[in-house]
Amino acid sequence: MEKNNPVSVPASKKLKILLAEDDVINQKLFSYMLNEITEELIIASTGVEAIKLFKENAGIDLILMDLKMPEMDGYQAAKHIRELDGVIKIFALSAFAPETQGDVMNGNEFNDYVGKPIRKAELLKAIEKHF
């Protein structure tokens, strides 16, 4: 990807992404923001559903995991998924203040953190770092 253009498409391939997000408006926003870099976007509304969909869909490249969801939060869902796959990239999504980013990343199952409200350039820049 070009370093000067944070919204360019990853050069290697389009990604299969699992989005775990309970807010329907945010689901639509992510779908729009990720359209140019996704081969497939799979959406889960709960942590339990995220685990189920991860098991049912081979070849997922990236999981975008909201930390606050019904049934099971993103921390627990990421832990379960990490037990199934130790190398899958999992990004935490959170509206917590940026200073809590270290707490989210430290000792948890996440490879990166993207703060809410989501900004397309920041989201794609985080993805670019890992792909």
* pLDDT higher than 50, residue 16: yes
Q: Answer whether residue 7 is part of any domain.
A: no
Answer whether residue 46 is part of any domain. yes
pLDDT over 80 at 3, yes or no: no
- Taking the C-alpha atoms of residue 24 and residue 123, their distance in angstroms, rounded to an integer, is 18
Q: What is the pLDDT of residue 106?
A: 66
**Full-prediction pTM beyond 0.85?**
yes
The yes-or-no verdict on residue 122 having pLDDT over 60 is yes
Q: Determine, yes or no, domain membership for 111.
A: yes
Asked if the structure places residue 4 within a domain, the reply is no
Number of domains in the chain: 1
Number of residues in the chain: 131
Range of the domain at 94: 17-130
Q: Is residue 96 part of a domain?
A: yes
- Say which residue, 104 or 53, is predicted with more confidence: 53
- For residue 121, being part of any structural domain is answered with yes
What average pLDDT score do residues 20-47 get?
96
CATH of the domain at 48: 3.40.50.2300
Location of structure tokens 């689901």: 27
* Residue at 6 is within a domain: no
Determine, yes or no, domain membership for 3. no
The CA distances from residue 60 to 16, 36, 51, 124, in Å, are 5, 17, 12, 17
